[in-house]
Homo-oligomer: A and B are copies of this chain.
Amino acid sequence: MGITKVDGFTPEVTQMAEILKALGHPARLAIMEYLINSPDCINGDLVDHLPLAQSTVSRHLSELKKVGLIKGTITGNCISYCINEEVWNKIKVFFNSSSDQITPGKSCAC
């Protein structure tokens, strides 16, 4: 089928899965790291840093923006993309709070 079932899952799970799915690609994860490390949000030479064609990079940027991981706009030759810290923080909180719920030293044998 290739179609992901959504019915029966909580909106929280569905939304977080969408975000993580967007991050689950080497190019998109590399883009995020690049944006994190670039202090001025400019990613004009992003294409040079990735082994992908310009159109492919643009498509990945579009997907990251779709799920809210990045924000910004392009106006002329001024490229202004940066991390959406709110969403990024949401992921961080998700994993931190999940970790707290793990029973330490959980036995995995019967």
Number of copies: 2
Are the C-beta atoms of B4 and A17 separated by less than 8 Å?
A: no
A52 partner, pick from B5, B81, B92, B109, beta carbons under 8 A: B5
Are the C-beta atoms of B17 and A24 separated by less than 8 Å?
A: yes
Are the C-beta atoms of B39 and A26 separated by less than 8 Å?
A: no
Please provide the 10 A-B residue pairs with the shortest distance between their CB atoms, ordered closest to farther: A21-B24, A8-B51, A78-B110, A20-B24, A9-B26, A24-B24, A82-B108, A92-B95, A20-B23, A17-B26
Q: Which residues of A contact B (CB under 8 A)?
A: 4-10, 13-14, 16-30, 32-33, 36-37, 39-41, 50-52, 71-72, 75, 78, 80-83, 85, 88-89, 91-92, 95-96, 98-99, 101-103, 106-110
